[in-house]
Structure 1
């Protein structure tokens, strides 16, 4: 009776998903310490820097003035902004940086389940199938690795938003209202801002999904148009990130990383219950999950036997995407990785396990096609087994670390591991703070009344002769020097001060401002995003819930 009620009442089904999502999160809230993960500590520094830049008036946030020992970096021009935007209200509410990260882990994980249930309920029109698919998604082993081993916050946002994108698509294909059109656009925009790499991969499989539906050409075109609108809404981030990549070292220093990250196939299969290094790549366990493999195998079996007429396209889609992901994680694809620079930016082939977390969860619906699993006790026994089979992933195996909030609020170094965001004009990452913010490197002059703000350095110069000044700030397009309300030329290729802002002032007394502003490309990208938002909002008043096709 208890189980039956869960199936009959949809709100209880959502409550059930929320409740079963709490146990994997309990351990991180038992302590005030930070789970020791690959990226967790760096997120603390980025949360703090992003918040400070935002509250100082910079939006969209692109420049982080505190990093690189105060020389600054355009890190937020290239790093996915959604996790740090979402962190702003949490910090404003008074949460510590550690708790901001833990809360971010939690709500992205829980909402991923809620959105997956929304999508699967509508797609399958069957509560039991939807519940099974959602539980499989929530308890895919690699998702816990992403959270509690890698600390890949952007990936967690992508996992959360992906089922929302699919939900929006299937809703629009069923009933092509304008609100469903907007939901596609908004969800794609959020996905684009969630994680540079995983967000792109998830977007690609969303686009590919349309080829495996029975939607007519008009509806398919409308979905793609909505997706394009979503990319445009995120244009303020996407356009500069892609075009201005040429101003940075990019992935020059990481272009060969992929060679070390082609895992043997058996590591995908065998559960790493004892956390042995033999089943990991570095610190990362890369198991697909026994029940997820079961779903894939049953799908193949039923497809071969011709027993999937109603959902044949979904089965083919899931298997094709899974197969492609597995293929690109094998050494046989090395020539592609070697010759396609874009793919090398993925760095680690096993990132594509994120795709299999989703597609293998979809194939679990075909487990329910087997009469044996339709028995009530067997069905709920399967649900329980799926959950408890991942218990050993629920605790950060690398333990916890005590952190100083003050240290990360004023974190001095870079938060990118390979220098990929440093400008091409820099000689290398700074190792210490400059002795002074402004120096005279030629001529006779004095600097006084220095006032420093995150994106503005203002001071007075009294020069007996023409003088050359050095501002210890990494040059990046957008920085300007204003001398007595007149723009001055910036020299950033001085071999003695590579990549730093140098400029000349004539003899006399001057008011000087060195300030960061959005450059032309960034401004144009901002306008594209604003324009698309205004157009989509205006459309609400025009269509008012009507079908647009």
Structure 2
């Protein structure tokens, strides 16, 4: 009983989360839009064992010529998987575990954040709502967007840290977002400063938070931004991938239609962009608290507006937004805010039974989305053989092929001056943070 009392939240989170990730416990796997995760992990492992710190070069992509994959593609989920892979967990199970941990940590982070507003019961409802967001199911079971899923997982932690005015935790959470997904990180550069407009006392701390976040993630964000033109990545912002083809219609936010296809021009996409009916209904109670929640309502409205074609004039005037490709990626923020609002009913009611009923209803009404289209043998898509990666996976992932291989000395164990200075900045930042942490805990002991 003592153990249950001590670890009740972990036990409850596990029980609530399990139905959302049950397919991960099968011996087979399923194809997603992006089925390159195991190959990426294998390549990261090879880069580390070749002495690349941080790893940047994937030696077998580019049909065996190599590709600076981790130079540009956010590495954090694969760092986590690499830890498991190093202790001899098979690559596919390492990736499965990282997907599962996203849901467990997402539940916990939303619980922490929502508890500061709605109390324990409201936090449990909000955490369940976050876990069972249809867009989380889209990111996992349809798109296989591990990086975006991971970045979204850290958003509640980021807002919790801001709420509690925890400088170090805020910087770490924001760094995690930057190292998980470029586009979510780009969008955060709007939402986080906007938050500070409603919390002006945080501005001095925000400058320190920004500097620390920049320092901790410099090894990745500086080369990724300034050297991207050395690759073919800009070809992925035109044609089908141009943002103008992927605005959504408001009715799609409430449509329960579900499919495993892709995004197309117009309102008839073969993929769901819904916010979730249970989530929206529960979020209505937060309307009465609009004065207290002004920022979050404005942020939600801004996210929704920027997903629609009405906002194209803004996208047209900010060329950097073209890198986002799909405006509906703002659902990562919009859905997070709606899930957070889902616990607001408990601003007035502190009833355990009501919380239990709502948790069950949220799961029951959304569980149908948390399943793959079909299962496949692991070796069909998630192979670790280097020759197959070079011959087959290279054609799937061509995003960061170099225009000129001589621009990337990483391939032969070197670094560009920018990479070297970026690594030094990050190393000093992490060492400084470590020294601060040691001193802090010594004073607390």
Q: So what's the TM-score if we normalise by structure 2? A: 0.88
Aligned pairs for 1:11-410 within 5 A: 11-30=7-26, 32-39=27-34, 41-121=35-115, 123-124=116-117, 126-171=119-164, 173=165, 180-202=166-188, 204-213=190-199, 216=201, 219-256=202-239, 257=241, 258-272=243-257, 282-300=269-287, 302=288, 308=289, 312-313=291-292, 315-369=293-347, 376-403=352-379, 405-407=383-385, 410=388
CA contact (8 A) 2:129 2:339 kept: yes
Q: Secondary structure at the match of 1:35?
A: coil
Query: Which stretch shifts more, 201-210 or 67-76?
Result: 201-210
CA contact (8 A) 2:31 2:375 kept: yes
CA RMSD of aligned residues (A): 2.9
- CA distance in structure 1 between the partners assigned to 2:440 and 2:98 by the alignment: 36
CA contact (8 A) 2:260 2:270 kept: no
CA contact (8 A) 2:259 2:270 kept: no
- CA distance in structure 2 between the partners assigned to 1:281 and 1:56 by the alignment: 47
Aligned pairs for 1:378-457 within 5 A: 378-403=354-379, 405-407=383-385, 410-412=388-390, 419-425=398-404
- CA distance in structure 1 between the partners assigned to 2:423 and 2:251 by the alignment: 47
- CA distance in structure 1 between the partners assigned to 2:20 and 2:387 by the alignment: 29
- CA distance in structure 2 between the partners assigned to 1:534 and 1:276 by the alignment: 45
Q: Please, which runs of 5 or more residues in structure 1 have no aligned partner?
A: 174-179, 303-307, 426-473, 480-513
Instruction: Report the number of matched residues.
Output: 435
Q: So what's the TM-score if we normalise by structure 1? A: 0.73
Q: Deviations over 1:17-50 (max 9, x none)?
A: 22210111112322x22221011x2111111111
- CA distance in structure 1 between the partners assigned to 2:313 and 2:131 by the alignment: 34
CA contact (8 A) 1:74 1:476 kept: no
| Post-superposition offset of 1:125 | 6.4
Q: Does 1:478 align with 2:375?
A: no
- CA distance in structure 1 between the partners assigned to 2:256 and 2:366 by the alignment: 9
CA contact (8 A) 1:162 1:202 kept: no
Give the structure, 1 or 2, with the largest relative contact order (CA under 8 Å, sep 6 or more). Answer: 2
Q: Deviations over 1:499-518 (max 9, x none)?
A: xxxxxxxxxxxxxxx93311
Q: Secondary structure at the match of 2:407?
A: coil
- CA distance in structure 1 between the partners assigned to 2:6 and 2:163 by the alignment: 19
User: Per the alignment, do residues 182 and 277 of structure 1 end up closer, same or farther by CA in structure 2, a change over 3 Å counting?
Assistant: closer
Higher strand share: 1
- CA distance in structure 1 between the partners assigned to 2:73 and 2:51 by the alignment: 19
- CA distance in structure 2 between the partners assigned to 1:196 and 1:398 by the alignment: 29
CA contact (8 A) 1:38 1:150 kept: yes
Query: Which stretch shifts more, 262-271 or 198-207?
Result: 198-207
Q: Please, which runs of 5 or more residues in structure 2 have no aligned partner?
A: none
| Post-superposition offset of 1:381 | 1.6
User: Per the alignment, do residues 163 and 376 of structure 1 end up closer, same or farther by CA in structure 2, a change over 3 Å counting?
Assistant: closer
Alignment correspondent of 1:463: none
| Post-superposition offset of 1:87 | 1.6
| Post-superposition offset of 1:379 | 3.5
- CA distance in structure 2 between the partners assigned to 1:367 and 1:223 by the alignment: 31
Q: Does 1:535 align with 2:432?
A: yes
| Post-superposition offset of 1:421 | 1.4
Q: Secondary structure at the match of 2:36?
A: helix
- CA distance in structure 2 between the partners assigned to 1:277 and 1:423 by the alignment: 27
CA contact (8 A) 1:33 1:98 kept: no
- CA distance in structure 1 between the partners assigned to 2:138 and 2:259 by the alignment: 14
- CA distance in structure 1 between the partners assigned to 2:326 and 2:302 by the alignment: 15
Q: Deviations over 1:45-99 (max 9, x none)?
A: 1111111111121111111121112211112110001111112121122222221
CA contact (8 A) 2:280 2:342 kept: no
**Higher-Rg member (1/2):** 1
CA contact (8 A) 2:215 2:429 kept: yes
